[in-house]
C-alpha cells in the first residue's frame, strides 16, 4: 500500500497486554523511533499513540470494543451493504496474532469480523500463528487461502522423561556429547528444490555408485528431515543407499546422527534388508548391533521409567528431579541460560527454595536464579532479559508466560514440566476451577522453540514419549471454559434484536448452553437485561464502559454515593492486578501478609479489597512526600504496578467524564471516600451476588467454612487477609463478599474477600421477602433447612392475609429473608423503610443512567442522603462477640480504638496502623466515619437536597432489635440461613 502512495492502517492484536507492549517497543526500537509515533499500542485503560500511528498493537478486547462501539453502523452495513464513515473504514489490515491461544475475545471477534468483511471490501484480515490449525480456520472463513511462510529457528534436541532418567543414572558420561543419541528437530521445512535434489542424488547413487552428491546433501546440516528423507517414488532413504553400497563410514555417520533404522521403502525393506540383499555383511553387522543396542537402551529406559512412575505422582512437580537435572546440565556444559517451565507461583517458590538450599546453586558468584510470573513487578520481570556476567549461569523459573512473545536470547536449555495452571468454569455449579493440567502439543512445541530462538538448544520434557503422544493438539478454547457475561452484553450492544445464544452459535467453538444461561442470569440480576432478554438503558451504559458489567454498576453506585476514588482503584485493580509483591523468603512472606492486614486496618480491616484501596492512597501520598521507596519497601508494594493503576484510573475517569457520569471537577464526588461503611457498600455493589457467611466453628472442626448463596461450602484461602477468621470461635457468622469461588488442587476456596454488614445487602439484594419472626433457639436451627412448602408460605406472607397482619403494626417483629437464604430479624417499620429506600435507589440509578448530567430530583436526593447515613451508621463490621462488645448501640468502632478489644488483638487478623502509615493519611482519612458525623460537604448535584442529620435514620436506631447473635457484633439484624432452591449445590 505504501508503494502506491495509499494510506495504510494496520491493527495487530495480541492475546496478552505484555505481548502488545513488548512487540510495539521492539519494532519501534528496530525502526529507530519512540513508541507512540508510527508504532503505537492500546490496551484496556492504557495507550501510547494509536490514532495517527500506521501500526497499532492492541489486545483482542480493545479491537472487539471498537467493533462493538460501531454496533449500529455494523448492523446497517451488514444488511444494506452501506459503507459507514466510521473507525473501521480507516483500518486497512487486521492481523490477529497467536490465534492458536483462542481466548474468548478472539473467538467472539472472529465471529463479528466474518460477518463484517463483505461490507468492507477494502479490509484485509490475517490470522497468524506458528502452531495454527490452518485448515479449520480456513473453512470457518469460507475456504480463505492459506499461506505458509517458512521460518528459521535453530535446531533443538529433545529428551523425554525416560531419556532424562537414563542421563541422570549415567553420572560419568557427558550427555551433551554430539555423538549422544538424541532426537534433533528442525522446524524449517524442506523446499521443493531440496527434495528434488535429494531424489536425483539417490537415483544417481543407486545407478552409478556416485555417493558424493548424496553425502554432501545429507551432511550439510544435522536435520532429521534430510537424513530420514525417503525417495518420492521408491521410498528409499540415504541409509538404505549407503548400506547397499557398503559405505561403512557414511553408515556410521548417519547412525551417530540418530537416523531412524526402522524406515522401510515401498517394498517393505529396511536398511538392514538392503545390506543383507547386497551381501554387505560388515555393514549388516554394524546396523544390527546398533539396533540391538538401541533396543537394549529402550528396554532399560522403560524399566527406569516404570520404577520412577511407581514412586511418584506424575501429576505433581518433582523439584528433586529438576534440581538433579539442573546439576547435570551445569556439569556437562559451561554456559547457556536455563529456562524451567512450571505451572504456578507455588511451584516456582518450591523450586526456588530447593535450589537456594543447595550449596551449589546458592553460590551467587556462579548462579543467578530468577522468577517470571505475571504477578511479579515489571522491573523484576525485565531482569530475565539481561545477560549475566561471564562465568555466571542464569536459571529462570517461569510459568507459561514465557511461551510466546517473550524472547530471552541467551536461553540454550529448556526444562518443560509439561504442566500449566488452567482456569476453567463449571457452568453447572457456577464455580471457577484453577488447577494444574497437562499442556497441549501446541504449547509443548512453543516451549521447545524457546531454546532455539537465537542458537541451537536442548529441551527436556519431564513426561514420557507415551504421554507426549496423548497430549491434546490444542488447549480448550477459553470461550468454552470461562464466564461470558461481558461477551453476552456485547452481543446485545452489537445487535439488540439478536438472541445471545443464536449469535454465540456462530463462533468457532460455541460455549455450552448452561454457560450462556448463567451469564444471562447475571446480567438480569444486574438490571442490564430484562427477563425476556431485552437490553435495558442500564445495560447499555454498563456495556459502554471498558470494565466488567458488575464493575460498571459498582462505579455508578459509587458516583451516587459520593465514593468515586476508591471505586476507581478497585475497578482498575480488578482489571489489571493487585499491587502487592510476592516475596520469596518465608519470613518475608509473613511480613508481607502482616503489611496487607495493616493497610486494610486503615478502613476497618478484614478486607482484601480495601487493602488495595489503602495501599494506593498511601502510595500516592508517599510519592508526593518523596517517601515512595520507603513505603513500597516496607509494605511490599510494586511501584510499577501502582503507576500503572494510576494511569488506568485516569483513563477510566476520562471514560466516565466522556459518558457524562461525573463532572470535570470530581472533588464533590469523594466526600464519602474514607467512610468504611460506605466503602463496604461499594464493594457489595460490585460483588453481588457473590455473598457468603462464615459458619461458626464446630467441635472437632479445625477451620470454619464459608457458606455461599448457592449453597457451596468453601474455605478461605491462606493468602487472604481474612484467613485468621477461619480459626476464630468468637467471630459470630459475619457476612463476606468475594470475587469468585475457585476449585484448586486443595479444594474449593475464596481468595479475595471482605467482611461487610447486612445493610448493603438489604439495599442491593435482588429478592427480599417478609416472614413471621423465627422464635426458635439459635443453636437448634443453625443449619436447619426450610422446606419448599415453608418457602411457599413465606412468599404468601408478603401478599396474603398473614403478610398484612404482620406488617399492620410498625412495632411488630418480622423476619426479612434475602434471596431465599439469609434471614434477618427486625420490625415492620424498619422493613417498610428499607423497601422504600430500595425502590428509591433503583430509581436514582435509572435516573443517573438516563440523565447523567442532571441533578437528582429532590425526593431521590433525600433518599440517597438517607441511604448514605444508614450505610455510614452500619459502618465497620467489628468481629467481636457480644459479651466483649461494650456498647451494643454502636455499630462501628474507630480504627484506633480496636486494639482495646482483647479478642481483636488475639489473632483475629487485625494490625493497628503504624505511625508511618498514619502519617501518610490525612486527618480525615485516619478518622473512621461514624453515624454522628455531620456531613458538611454533601455534593448537591448528587443528593440535590439537604436534610438534618439523622432525619431518615433515627427510627432505625430506635426500633433496632437487640444486638446479641448479630453477624457482626453490632446492632445490625442477626442472620439465619435458609435452604436454597437454586439448582445443584457443589459440595
Cell of 42: 492500546
Q: What is the pLDDT of residue 894?
A: 33
DSSP result, 594-642? HHHHHHHGGGTSSBHHHHHHHHHHHHHHHHHTT-HHHHHHHTTB-HHHH
Q: Tens of pLDDT along 767-817? A: 888 888 765 444 444 444 333 334 333 343 444 455 556 666 778 888 888
Low-confidence ranges of the chain (pLDDT < 50): 1-2, 72-85, 178-187, 776-800, 877-910, 923-987
Q: What is the pLDDT of residue 389?
A: 92
Q: What is the pLDDT of residue 5?
A: 60
Terminal alpha carbon distance of the chain: 60
Which residues are within 8 A (CB) of 877 and not within 5 positions of it... i.e. 6 or more apart? 604, 606, 680, 734, 735, 755, 756, 757, 967, 968, 969, 970, 972
Phi, psi dihedral angles at 533 (to 5 degrees): 70, 30
User: Is 172 exposed, middle or buried (CB count within 10 Å of its CB: 0-12, 13-18, 19+)?
Assistant: exposed
Q: What is the pLDDT of residue 483?
A: 87
Whether the bond into 689 is cis, omega within 30 of 0: yes
Distances (CA, A) of 156 to 165, 337, 412, 565, 966: 19, 15, 9, 52, 65
Task: Report the helix count and the strand count for the chain, using DSSP H and E.
Answer: 39, 26
Closest Cα to residue 417, out of 321, 352, 300?
A: 321
* C-alpha span between 642 and 659 (Å, rounded): 26
Q: What is the pLDDT of residue 18?
A: 72
Q: Which residues pair with 368 in a beta bridge?
A: 394
Q: What is the pLDDT of residue 640?
A: 76
* C-alpha span between 402 and 420 (Å, rounded): 12
* C-alpha span between 517 and 494 (Å, rounded): 19
- Tell me if 240 sits within 8 A of 284, measured CB to CB: no
- Dihedral Cα 137, 142, 144, 146, nearest 10 deg: 40
Q: What is the pLDDT of residue 806?
A: 65
- Tell me if 407 sits within 8 A of 453, measured CB to CB: yes
Q: How many CB atoms lie within 10 A of CB 335?
A: 13
Distances (CA, A) of 68 to 71, 543, 572, 578, 826: 5, 9, 21, 28, 47
Q: What is the pLDDT of residue 885?
A: 30
Distances (CA, A) of 598 to 474, 482, 629, 753, 914: 44, 34, 18, 16, 8
- The residue count of the chain comes to 987
Which residues are within 8 A (CB) of 323 and not within 5 positions of it... i.e. 6 or more apart? 351, 354, 355, 358, 361
Q: What is the pLDDT of residue 745?
A: 63
- Helix/strand/coil (H/E/C) assignment for every residue in 168-202: HHCCCCCCCCCCCCCEEECCCCCCHHHHHHHHHHH
Closest Cα to residue 230, out of 268, 282, 280, 256?
A: 268
Q: What is the pLDDT of residue 67?
A: 84
User: Is 543 exposed, middle or buried (CB count within 10 Å of its CB: 0-12, 13-18, 19+)?
Assistant: buried
Name residue, grid cell 556437562: 332
Phi, psi dihedral angles at 657 (to 5 degrees): -65, -40
Amino acid at each position: 500500500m505504501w508503494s502506491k502512495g495509499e494510506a495504510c492502517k494496520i491493527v495487530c492484536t495480541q492475546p496478552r497486554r505484555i505481548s502488545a507492549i513488548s512487540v510495539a517497543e521492539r519494532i519501534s526500537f528496530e525502526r529507530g523511533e519512540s513508541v507512540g509515533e508510527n508504532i503505537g499500542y492500546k490496551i484496556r485503560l492504557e495507550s501510547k499513540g494509536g490514532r495517527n500511528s500506521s501500526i497499532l498493537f492492541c489486545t483482542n478486547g480493545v479491537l472487539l470494543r471498537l467493533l462493538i462501539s460501531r454496533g449500529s453502523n455494523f448492523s446497517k452495513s451488514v444488511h444494506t451493504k452501506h459503507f459507514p464513515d466510521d473507525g473501521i473504514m480507516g483500518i486497512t489490515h487486521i492481523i490477529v496474532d497467536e490465534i492458536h491461544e483462542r481466548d474468548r475475545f478472539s473467538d467472539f471477534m472472529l465471529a463479528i469480523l466474518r460477518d463484517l468483511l463483505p461490507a468492507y471490501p477494502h479490509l484485509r484480515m490475517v490470522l497468524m500463528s506458528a502452531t495454527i490449525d490452518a485448515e479449520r480456520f480456513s473453512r470457518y472463513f469460507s475456504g480463505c487461502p492459506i499461506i505458509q511462510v517458512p521460518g528459521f529457528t535453530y535446531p533443538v534436541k529433545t529428551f523425554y522423561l525416560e531419556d532424562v532418567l537414563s542421563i541422570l543414572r549415567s553420572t560419568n558420561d557427558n550427555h551433551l556429547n554430539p555423538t549422544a543419541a538424541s532426537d534433533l528437530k528442525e522446524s524449517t521445512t524442506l523446499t521443493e528444490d531440496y527434495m528434488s535434489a535429494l531424489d536425483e542424488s539417490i537415483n544417481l547413487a543407486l545407478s552409478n555408485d556416485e555417493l558424493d552428491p548424496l553425502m554432501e546433501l545429507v551432511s550439510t546440516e544435522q536435520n532429521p528431515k534430510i537424513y530420514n528423507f525417503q525417495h518420492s517414488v521408491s521410498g528409499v532413504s540415504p541409509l538404505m543407499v549407503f548400506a547397499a553400497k557398503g559405505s561403512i563410514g557414511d553408515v556410521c555417520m548417519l547412525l551417530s546422527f540418530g537416523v531412524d533404522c526402522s524406515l522401510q521403502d515401498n517394498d517393505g525393506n529396511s536398511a538392514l534388508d538392503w545390506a543383507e540383499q547386497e551381501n554387505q555383511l560388515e555393514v549388516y553387522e554394524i546396523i544390527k548391533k546398533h539396533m540391538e543396542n538401541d533396543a537394549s537402551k529402550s528396554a532399560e529406559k522403560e524399566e527406569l521409567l516404570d520404577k520412577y512412575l511407581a514412586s511418584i505422582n506424575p501429576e505433581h512437580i518433582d523439584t528433586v528431579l529438576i534440581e538433579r537435572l539442573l546439576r547435570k546440565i551445569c556439569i556437562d556444559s559451561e554456559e547457556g541460560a536455563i529456562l524451567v517451565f512450571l505451572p504456578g507461583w507455588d511451584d516456582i517458590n518450591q523450586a526456588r527454595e530447593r535450589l537456594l538450599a543447595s550449596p551449589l546453586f546458592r553460590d551467587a558468584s556462579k548462579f543467578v536464579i530468577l522468577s517470571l510470573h505475571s504477578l511479579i513487578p515489571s522491573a523484576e520481570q525485565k531482569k530475565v532479559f539481561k545477560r549475566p556476567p561471564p562465568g555466571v549461569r542464569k536459571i529462570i523459573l517461569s510459568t507459561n508466560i514465557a511461551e510466546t512473545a517473550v524472547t530471552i536470547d541467551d536461553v540454550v536449555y529448556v526444562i518443560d514440566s509439561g504442566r500449566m495452571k488452567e482456569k476453567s468454569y463449571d457452568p453447572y455449579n457456577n464455580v471457577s476451577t484453577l488447577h494444574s493440567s497437562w499442556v497441549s502439543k501446541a504449547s509443548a512445541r512453543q516451549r521447545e522453540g524457546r531454546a532455539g530462538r537465537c542458537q541451537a538448544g536442548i529441551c527436556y520434557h519431564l513426561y514420557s514419549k507415551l504421554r507426549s503422544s496423548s497430549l491434546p493438539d490444542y488447549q480448550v478454547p477459553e470461550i468454552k471454559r470461562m464466564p461470558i457475561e461481558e461477551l453476552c452484553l456485547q452481543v446485545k450492544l452489537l445487535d439488540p434484536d439478536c438472541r445471545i445464544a443464536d449469535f454465540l452459535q456462530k463462533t468457532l467453538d460455541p460455549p455450552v448452553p448452561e454457560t450462556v444461561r448463567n451469564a444471562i442470569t447475571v446480567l438480569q440480576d444486574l438490571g442490564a437485561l430484562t427477563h425476556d432478554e431485552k437490553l435495558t438503558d442500564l445495560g447499555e451504559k454498563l456495556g459502554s464502559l471498558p470494565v466488567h458489567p458488575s464493575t460498571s454498576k459498582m462505579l455508578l453506585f459509587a458516583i451516587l454515593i459520593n465514593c468515586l476514588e476508591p471505586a476507581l482503584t478497585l475497578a482498575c485493580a480488578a482489571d489489571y492486578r493487585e499491587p502487592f509483591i510476592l516475596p520469596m523468603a518465608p519470613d518475608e512472606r509473613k511480613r508481607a501478609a502482616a503489611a496487607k492486614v495493616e493497610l486494610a486496618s486503615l478502613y476497618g480491616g478484614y478486607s482484601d479489597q480495601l487493602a488495595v484501596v489503602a495501599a494506593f492512597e498511601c502510595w500516592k501520598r508517599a510519592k508526593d512526600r518523596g517517601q515512595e521507596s520507603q513505603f513500597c519497601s516496607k509494605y511490599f508494594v510494586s511501584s510499577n504496578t501502582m503507576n500503572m493503576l494510576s494511569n488506568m484510573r485516569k483513563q477510566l475517569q476520562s471514560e466516565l467524564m466522556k459518558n457524562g457520569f461525573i463532572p470535570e471537577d470530581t472533588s464533590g464526588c469523594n466526600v464519602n471516600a474514607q467512610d468504611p461503611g460506605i466503602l463496604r457498600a461499594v464493594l457489595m455493589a460490585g460483588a453481588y451476588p457473590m455473598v457468603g457467611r462464615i459458619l461458626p466453628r464446630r467441635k472437632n472442626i479445625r477451620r470454619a467454612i464459608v457458606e455461599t448463596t448457592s449453597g457451596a461450602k468453601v474455605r478461605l484461602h491462606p493468602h487472604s487477609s481474612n484467613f485468621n477468621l477461619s480459626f476464630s470461635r468468637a467471630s459470630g457468622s459475619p457476612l463476606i463478599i468475594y470475587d469468585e469461588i475457585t476449585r484448586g488442587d486443595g479444594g474449593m476456596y475464596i481468595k479475595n474477600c471482605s467482611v461487610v454488614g447486612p445493610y448493603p445487602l438489604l439495599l442491593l439484594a435482588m429478592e427480599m421477602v417478609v416472614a413471621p419472626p423465627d422464635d426458635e433457639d439459635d443453636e437448634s436451627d443453625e443449619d436447619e433447612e426450610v422446606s419448599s412448602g415453608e418457602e411457599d408460605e413465606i412468599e404468601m406472607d408478603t401478599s396474603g392475609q398473614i403478610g398484612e397482619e404482620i406488617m399492620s403494626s410498625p412495632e411488630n417483629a418480622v423476619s426479612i429473608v434475602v434471596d431465599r437464604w439469609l434471614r434477618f430479624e427486625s420490625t415492620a417499620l424498619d422493613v417498610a423503610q428499607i423497601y422504600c429506600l430500595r425502590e428509591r435507589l433503583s430509581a436514582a440509578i435509572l435516573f443517573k443512567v438516563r440523565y447523567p448530567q442532571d441533578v437528582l430530583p429532590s425526593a431521590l436526593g433525600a433518599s440517597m442522603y438517607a441511604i448514605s447515613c444508614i450505610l455510614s451508621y452500619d459502618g465497620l463490621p467489628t468481629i467481636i462477640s457480644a459479651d466483649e462488645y461494650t456498647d451494643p448501640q454502636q455499630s462501628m468502632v474507630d480504627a484506633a480504638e480496636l486494639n482495646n478489644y482483647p479478642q481483636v488483638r488475639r489473632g483475629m487478623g487485625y494490625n493497628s496502623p503504624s505511625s508511618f502509615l498514619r502519617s501518610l493519611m490525612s486527618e480525615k482519612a485516619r478518622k473512621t466515619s461514624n453515624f454522628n458525623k455531620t456531613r458538611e460537604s454533601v455534593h448537591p448535584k448528587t443528593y440535590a437536597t439537604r436534610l438534618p442529620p439523622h432525619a431518615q435514620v433515627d427510627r432505625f436506631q430506635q426500633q433496632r432489635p437487640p444486638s446479641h447473635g448479630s453477624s457482626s457484633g453490632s446492632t445490625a439484624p442477626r442472620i439465619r440461613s435458609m435452604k436454597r432452591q437454586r439448582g445443584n449445590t457443589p459440595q
